[in-house]
Every structure is written in C-alpha cells, then in structure tokens.
Amino acid sequence: MSKRLGKGGLLINRNKPIKFEFNGRKFSGFEGDTLASALLSNNQVLVGRSFKYHRPRGIVSSGSEEPNALVNLGENDKFEPNQRATTTELFDGLKASSQNHWPSLNFDIGVINNYLARFLPAGFYYKMFIHPRPFWKYIYEPFIRHSAGLGRAPSQKDNSKYEHFYAFYDVVIIGGGISGLNAAVTAAESGLKILIMEQTSTWGGRSIVDFPNIYDETSLEYVSRLLSELKKFENVTIRSRMMGAGVYDHGYLLGYERLNDHLNTDDGPRHRLWRIRAKQIITATGAIERPLSFPGNDIPGIMLASAVRDYAVNFGVSSGDKIAIYTNNDDAYRTAITLSGFGIEVPVIIDARVSGGGELAESARALGIRVENGKAISKVFGKKRVEAINICDHKNSTKDREKIKCDSIAMSGGWSPVVHLYSHCGGKLKWDEKLALFRPDGYAKPTSFDGQPFVTAVGSANGLLLMHDVIQDAWEGCLKVIQAARGKVKKKSPKETLHERANAPEAIWIAPQDADIKKRSKIWLDFQNDVKVNDIELAAREGFESVEHAKRYTTLGMATDQGKLSNINGLAILSSSLGKEIPKVGTTTFRPPYTPISLASIGGSARDDLFQPIRKTPMHYWHEKNGAYMEPVGQWRRPFCYPKEGETHAKAVEREINQTRSSLGLLDASTLGKLLVTGPDAGKFLDMLYTNLMSTLKIGKCRYGLMCSENGFLIDDGVVARIDEQTWLCHTTTGGAENIHGHMEEWLQTEWWDWKVYVSNVTEQYAQVGVVGPNARNLLEKIGGLNVSKDELDFMEWKDGKLGKYDARVFRISFSGELSFEVAVPASQGMAFWNDLVEAGEEFGVMPYGTEALHVMRAEKGFIMIGDETDGTVIPQDLNLNWAISKKKDDFLGKRAQERSFMVNPNRWKLVGLETLDGSVLPDGAYAIADGFNSNAQKLTQGRVTSSYFSPTLKRGIAMGLVINGPSREGEIIEFSKIDGTIIPAKITNPVFYDPNGEKQNV
C-alpha cells in the first residue's frame, strides 16, 4: 500500500494536519502536501478512469505533466473540472472528486469498452459513424455526447476575481530550479530589469530531491542562499506559483499567476494573467521524465521514478511497500538509493541496458539492491493495483524468467527537456542521438523584430542533465542574454561542482524489444486517451505518416496533458513503423499555453459591467427611467420599445406606431453616425465614395446616398446634407459610423492622399431627435423660433437656427413615411431639448418610440436597412436602387466591380414585398423553395425573407425579401419553408406597403 512514512517530507509540516474530502470520504494530510501526495499517503492510488476504455488510473507523476490524476475541484461557484491533483496544493476544507466514471470510481460500467478494445481501434469513430446517415443524428451523436468529455461543466457563475497585469522587463527567466536561479543571479548583477517565475510554490526544482549536497552546502541551503541573494536586488522581481504560459511574437510572454488557489479565501484576485514584453527570455524549464513502454504499464501503482522519489523526499510518502524499478538510464537509480534510505524495499532494479549503469548503479549495488541488466517487464499482474511482475530478457520475451512481487513500479524511460516555451514562437529542435532527446537547436532560436534571437534555453531545458553542466550552461546562456539585452557583463564563472558521470541511456521505445501483438496492444502511450503502441502502428499502416496526422487519427497527445509524457514515445513508435529516423518524423507543434490556464484569467476584469464600454446618448437615462427595454446596437444601448406596466413588447410597439402614424412620436436618433467631410476636394471625394453625385448637392439640401465597397457590395447608406461650399455632413448607420469613418480615412490616406479633405466624426457631439407624425410641425412651431413651414423647409431640406432656446439644425427627412423632422442640438442640450419636446408635445399625445417601431415603420414604407436587406453579397441594383446610382460619373468605389457579368445578370435575387395569404408573419430568414434538388439532395431555393414584421398599420404580416427576378413576378405566389418543414405561401408584391405616393411625408 502507499502510505506516509515515519520520517522525511521536506515540504510538509507534520504539526499542521489538514482535513479534505475526496469522493465524499474524509481524509487527512499535512500542510505543504499536494492533493496527490495526500491521497497517496491515504493509500488512494486509484484516482480516475481513462477516457476511452475507462480503465483504472493512478497518479503517475508529481508535477504539471500529470495525465491521470484529474479531479473535479471545489463546489458551487468554486467548482472547476480537470484540475491536476499533482499541482493542487492542499488546504483545509478542500473537496475533490474523481472524473469520467459511472456509477463509481471503483466500479465503472464504461469499462466494458476495455473488453471491446480490439473493436475500438484508432480511427474507430471516423470509420464507424459515417453510415447510415440518419444514425448520426439520432444514435451516434447523442451517445458520443453522453460519453465524451472528462470533467463536468460548472453549473454556477464563478465569482472569484481575475485580473491582467502589464509588465516590461529586460530579461525574464522562466523556471526556479538551479539553472533558473543561477541565471537570475548572473542577470541580476548586470543591472537589467529581471523577472524570475516558478510555477510551483517551492524553489530549487529537482535539485533538492536529486542532490543531497551542492558545493559544500545541502541543496536546500544552496537554493535558499541563491534566493536570498536575489531578493537583495532591487532590479529583480521574484514570483512563485507563476507559470510561463506562452511565448509569442516579439518578446510577448504570458505569465499565469495563481494567487490564492492554495488558500481557502476570496481575498484579492484568484489568478493574474501577466502580459509581459521581454527583451530576452530564458527558459530554465527543466525536463520531464518519460514513461517506459511495456505491457501493462498503465496499471495504478506504476509511476515515474522521479515522482516516486519526489513523494518520498518532499512529502514523506511511499508509493508502495515493495517498489520495483525499471529503467533505461542511470537517473532512476537515484530512486532506488533514496527509497533504500527510507527503508523501503526495492525488490529489483530492471535495467534494459545489457551493459548496465554507471556510478549510481554501483552505489545501488553497494546498498545490496538487486540489479538485473538487459531485462524487461513482460507482464504486470493486478487490475486496480500492481501485484507482481514477470521479467524476461529485453531482447527475447518468449520465456518469462521470474515473477517478482511488488505493489508499485518506478519507471524511467529517460528525460525530455521542456522545450515548449522555446518552441512556441518558432524555435527549432534537434535530436540528440546520445541522450535520446529533442533539445533546442542553439542556432535556430526564435527571433524578434530585429532578427536577433530572444529565447534561450538553459540547463535541463537545453538538454543537459548533469549538475555541473546545468550550472555552467545557465551561466553561459545568461551571459549571451545579458549582452543581447545590453546589460553589463561580469565574467565570474561558477565554481567547479561535483562531476557526476553517467552511462548513456539506451533508447528503448518498446519493451521487451520483440513484444508480440498481444503485448503491444497492452502497452500504453497516452494514459488519458488510451492510445497504445498498436494504435500508432495502425495509423502508420493506414497512411497517417505525418506526425500531425497520426496525432489526430489516434488522439495521441490530445489529452489535457497535451502529450507531455506520451509524445516522444509515440513518435518514436511512429518513426520505427515507418522505417524513418526520429528527426525525420519530427514533433507535433508545441502550442501555448504550457498547461491549461483558466478561461476567467484570460477574460481578466473584462466581465459584467466592465466587459465593454457602453455608449449612452444624452437622453439615455430618461429612457431607462421611463421604462424603456434597451437593446444593444453596436456599443450603444437603444430603447427597443417603452412597454407600459403589464404590456407585452409587441403591444408596446403597436401602440408606439399607431400613435406616431396618427399624431406624434419621438425617436432618440443620436446614435446615427455623423461624419463631417470638409475641404476643397470634399465634393470630388464624396463623388468617389457614394454611388450618387454629391458634389452637385445644393447648400441647404439633403440627399439619400449609398456607399459600396470596391467589390461592388452595398456597405452603408444615409442622408447627406450640404452644409457650405466645402462641407458635407454625412449620416451613416448607427453601427457603421466608426467603420465608415475608417473607410474614408483609408482612401484619403492611402489612395488620394493629395486631395484636400478632412473627415471628422462628430457623432457624439450632437443629440438628434426624430420628431415624427402628422403633428410634428405643430410641435416644432409650438416650441417656436424657426420657420419650419413647407415653403421654408421642404422635404429633403435642412436649416440652422434657434428652436426655442436651442441651437438647432433641423433636417426634414423621413424614415417612417410620416411628416418628419430630425433635429440636432449640441449633445449638452439634448436632455433639456428632449424634456421640452415631451412637455410641449403633451397636447398631441406625444409618445417616444423605440428601434422596433422604427424598423416596422421603415418596412411598411419599403425602406431598406443595412444588415437586414444587405449581408455583404447584395449590390444596390438588387434593391432596385438604380435611381441612386449616378450614370454621369466616370468612377466611384464599386462601379467597375458592378459591371462584372454576374453583377449584371438579370436573374439575381431582387427586392420585393411579400404578403402571406393568411396574413401571418413570415419567419425572418425563411427561404423560398423552388422545384428540384441540388447535388446534396436539398431543395433548390429562389429567394429569402430579409425583414418580416407584423404591421399594426395594415393589421397583417408584411415582409421584404430577395427573390430571383422578383420585381417582374409581382402577383406570383411562392412558397416559404418554415423550420418545422411546413410551407407558407406568400404573394410577391411591391415592397412599399404604405402610402406609395408619399402623400403623408410630403405635407
């Protein structure tokens, strides 16, 4: 059994017991434990189930590479799935539960997949779920959705705080092991601004466990001395519990700081995302041990050799009573020596190398530990826990030599440098044949804006595994970095330290070497996703030869650990299946983040009210106070309608329309884009931008204009007013103001930069009110001061003046078909002006109306709306707006594109009105079906609904739509299909449903 030892545990405080829950059972651990070490100390080795076969899974590692020990952590608003027990620090009251099992961790029905494994090979889903077609929707998809996914999604809103932090450094060092700390001390002396971060809560990395002494100090003393030296420097920032998550272009770096995950508190932010710009980055990220690939290597109790000694030294926890060791390198002997020091039985060290190990192996032998060279594990006994192993010759597995009892196996397949951060931004790797690992290619580092390298890997992350090499490399690498960041270089080389010698590891990708298919189908590569050696071999046979294809076909390395343990072993199997060399096959792409980071940290404080700035018109608060139901329009909030108590939105819209059409309505039109275009060449410029002629517009007049992209498609519309000889005021759609301003700037700056034109966006300088309805003129006359009679201010004219006490510009334009004035006053006067209109309008029953009433009224008049009738594929000609396209102009944006053959094709979908035969409202976006089917056996279409409303004026549903050859088919009845498959017939009509001769607006 795994248990707490009587001694040891550098990180735990045995005087501070901590209570926690796992799967509803109460457990106890110590301060300083991780959830994984605390579970192990309670003999809870089984912690989860694998993804595909639901096989029992135990803790494998002691760090962020953990593929198995994923738990649901916390509850309610603190709930989070897929948290690694190995990196979760224990706190009082922690609650965790295991994942991916049903009904219980101990007894899981899904394990039946395990017995079907030979029918569920790689690519099974792709092959199986294609036919018959309808099965996908009704059987396969619901089944897969039920069984897919690891953790549960949280059911409550996360109320913790998250924040972003922007920082700038000369040198950032990622990793707080001895190479990171040594690099930091060297860098600190240069006077540069330095940040060093460590993902765990403790410093020193592997050195504390792996080396009792460094120089003449204990490794603990050595590390804390380096740290206290660092703290003396004012130019150094030191952060623990902060992971380097990703390295991006030009020295951009994300740091992920977990501030109170280890505390049971809500004080301060939970996670902080550091958005860093670094001139130089040093990755001192160490290395990750690789598992060995032998039959039954996924059974709980089998762990990485380094993890086994981590748990013993750091937490005083043993992973078993009898721990066998299986290795292909010298490093794992440390585990045997360590365990022996704790008095834990090591029944055997199995070394795959015939020649065996070096100095460390000698030490292990001297301790009386049995060492078997040139051997392999051919079978592991046990289901939810290792019980015993069979060993055989590594190169001849036909005969089992011996059965050895053990309840845990410490395995080591060698080490892989953590090259992720080095690789994120284009750093290249090279294969080190001798050490059997991919290491950073020092001549192909990621480069920055100046073409110079900006990421340097040092220490184990650079492929150096022995103490002296690591310290020397950290120093040398750092000197180059300091020079690159233009700091002062002090040449003070590190002291000589102990020189270890190690025998070379032997690259063992499959053990025993001659394992037959039965054995190979029990050798796990990816423990979480259940990818086995035979799956990779199958992928290779089926032609998935690229490592990226094999990955996606088998899901190797696609688990939450992103292949930290499995990738190198997997691609080695792939390369041997293909008969290629490992460097020829290469690695899959390393992508950020290094380990998953919380989505909330990416959002930072941008949530709720701070999600985005809200734009408010001067009358915004009046609308809110008067019961408006607001809708987002871009970043604005506009009243959709003003429902009275107990009134539905539909009824409110109806009331607003009826009152406007019969007497008087008010619309807050302040959000309308207002661009002032000024200069000697302004007319010429607008003639290029609009399809109409704007240069000929007379001062005091207004003209409705259309703007197209250079590709010919309609992008915006609005009324243009000629203010003076050199000034035009262009109204744009609410959502289009900023884009159209940008569009104008682009053409002025990049094409016609010699034209003398200025554009200013004055949208927010004015409050604009639509005064609409038969009593509109009466209201303005009552306010007084400005002659707004038909003779003085005719349709499509504007004038400036004092309206009451306000500095007003009155446009006589109409988007509703009624007699209508749009009055602009300075934004600061908007609220007072609106109040006066409401007060003075009382005798006419004045009623504010919202955007929905606006939409319905414009549809009743057949006016188009950008974004409804247009979708980026519609040209003005489709909307029968040929009258607004100048034939006199040689050129305007989009003119040439509109001459293309398919743009002048008479069979384009064109704007029509649509009336259902029964008066009902057509569903917005519904398609008109035509006879026949396309090649996908879908019905052919001949048109679609672009706007559809209930018209209170006509008391029936009205719609606008685009129909093939529409205008020439007036009176024809076509059929629209609803989502439920039923059909609604509708008659093609003229799109102007109301007052076609404009008698109401022209009074």
Backbone angles phi, psi at 438, to 5 degrees: -85, 125
Gyration radius of the chain over CA positions: 37
* 895 makes contact with other proteins (CB under 8 A): yes
Q: Which of 3, 95, 250, 379 binds other proteins (CB under 8 A)?
A: 250
Q: Which of 102, 126, 143, 248 binds other proteins (CB under 8 A)?
A: 248
Interface positions, 259-288, toward other proteins (CB under 8 A):
277
Min CB(99)–other proteins separation in Å: 35
Min CB(684)–other proteins separation in Å: 14
**Host H or E run for residue 802:** strand 798-803
Min CB(166)–other proteins separation in Å: 10
* 448 makes contact with other proteins (CB under 8 A): yes
Please, are residues 87 and 594 in contact by the beta-carbon 8 Å criterion?
Answer: no
**Host H or E run for residue 456:** strand 455-457
Q: Which of 115, 138, 443, 449 binds other proteins (CB under 8 A)?
A: 449
3-class SS of residue 450: coil
Residue 419 one-letter amino acid: V
Min CB(604)–other proteins separation in Å: 13
For the purposes of burial, counting CB atoms within 10 Å of the CB of 155, is it exposed (0-12), middle (13-18) or buried (19 or more)? exposed
Q: Angle at which helices 567-578 and 547-554 pack, to 10 degrees?
A: 110
Task: Let me know the angle formed at the C-alpha of 227 by 223 and 230, rounded to the nearest 5 degrees.
Answer: 145
Q: Which of 451, 646, 906, 971 binds other proteins (CB under 8 A)?
A: 451
* 763 makes contact with other proteins (CB under 8 A): no
Q: Give the closest residue to 332 by CA, choosing from 308, 312, 313, 355.
A: 308
Question: Based on CB atoms, which residue is closest to other proteins, 453 or 512?
Answer: 453
Tell me which residue has tokens 């005083």: 316
Question: Based on CB atoms, which residue is closest to other proteins, 109 or 606?
Answer: 606
**How far is it, in rounded angstroms, from Cα 865 to Cα 857?**
12
Q: Which of 141, 217, 362, 450 binds other proteins (CB under 8 A)?
A: 450
Q: Which of 127, 152, 900, 978 binds other proteins (CB under 8 A)?
A: 900
DSSP state of 138: I
Tell me which residue has tokens 């039965």: 518
Sheet with 323-327, side-by-side order of all strands: 302-304, 408-412, 323-327, 349-351, 371-373
* 602 makes contact with other proteins (CB under 8 A): no
**Host H or E run for residue 519:** helix 517-520
Question: Based on CB atoms, which residue is closest to other proteins, 277 or 644?
Answer: 277
Interface positions, 418-437, toward other proteins (CB under 8 A):
425-426
Min CB(275)–other proteins separation in Å: 9
Please measure the distance between the N-terminal and C-terminal CA atoms of the chain and give it in whole angstroms.
95
Q: Which of 14, 16, 19, 896 binds other proteins (CB under 8 A)?
A: 896
* 800 makes contact with other proteins (CB under 8 A): no
Please, are residues 388 and 406 in contact by the beta-carbon 8 Å criterion?
Answer: yes
Question: Based on CB atoms, which residue is closest to other proteins, 466 or 602?
Answer: 602
DSSP state of 352: S
Question: Based on CB atoms, which residue is closest to other proteins, 364 or 748?
Answer: 748
Q: What is the DSSP string of 956-1001?
A: EEEEEEEEETGGGGTT-EEEEE-TTS-EEEEEEE-S--S-TT-TTT
**How far is it, in rounded angstroms, from Cα 381 to Cα 392?**
14
**How far is it, in rounded angstroms, from Cα 592 to Cα 570?**
21
* 684 makes contact with other proteins (CB under 8 A): no
Token pair for 799 = 């004038």
DSSP state of 321: S
* 890 makes contact with other proteins (CB under 8 A): yes
* 322 makes contact with other proteins (CB under 8 A): no
* 229 makes contact with other proteins (CB under 8 A): no
* 742 makes contact with other proteins (CB under 8 A): yes
Please, are residues 845 and 837 in contact by the beta-carbon 8 Å criterion?
Answer: no
Q: Which of 711, 726, 739, 1002 binds other proteins (CB under 8 A)?
A: 711
* 447 makes contact with other proteins (CB under 8 A): yes
* 764 makes contact with other proteins (CB under 8 A): no
Min CB(480)–other proteins separation in Å: 19
Q: Which of 542, 710, 764, 781 binds other proteins (CB under 8 A)?
A: 710
CB neighbour list of residue 119: distance below 8 Å, 6 or more residues apart: none
Q: Which of 400, 800, 899, 918 binds other proteins (CB under 8 A)?
A: 899
**How far is it, in rounded angstroms, from Cα 904 to Cα 97?**
65
* 750 makes contact with other proteins (CB under 8 A): yes
Q: How many residues bind other proteins (CB under 8 A)?
A: 29
Min CB(589)–other proteins separation in Å: 15
* 612 makes contact with other proteins (CB under 8 A): no
Min CB(746)–other proteins separation in Å: 6
**Host H or E run for residue 149:** none
Reported residue count of the chain is 1003
Q: Give the closest residue to 254 by CA, choosing from 274, 269, 271.
A: 274
Q: Which of 645, 791, 891, 931 binds other proteins (CB under 8 A)?
A: 891
* 902 makes contact with other proteins (CB under 8 A): no
What x-and-dash track marks residues 529-558 binding other proteins by CB under 8 A? ------------------------------
Token pair for 273 = 């995302």
* 216 makes contact with other proteins (CB under 8 A): no
* 367 makes contact with other proteins (CB under 8 A): no
Q: Are strands 349-351 and 371-373 parallel, antiparallel or unpaired?
A: parallel
Min CB(251)–other proteins separation in Å: 8
Residues lying near other proteins in the complex (CB under 8 A): 248-252, 277, 425-426, 447-451, 710-711, 742, 745-746, 749-751, 753, 890-891, 895-897, 899-900
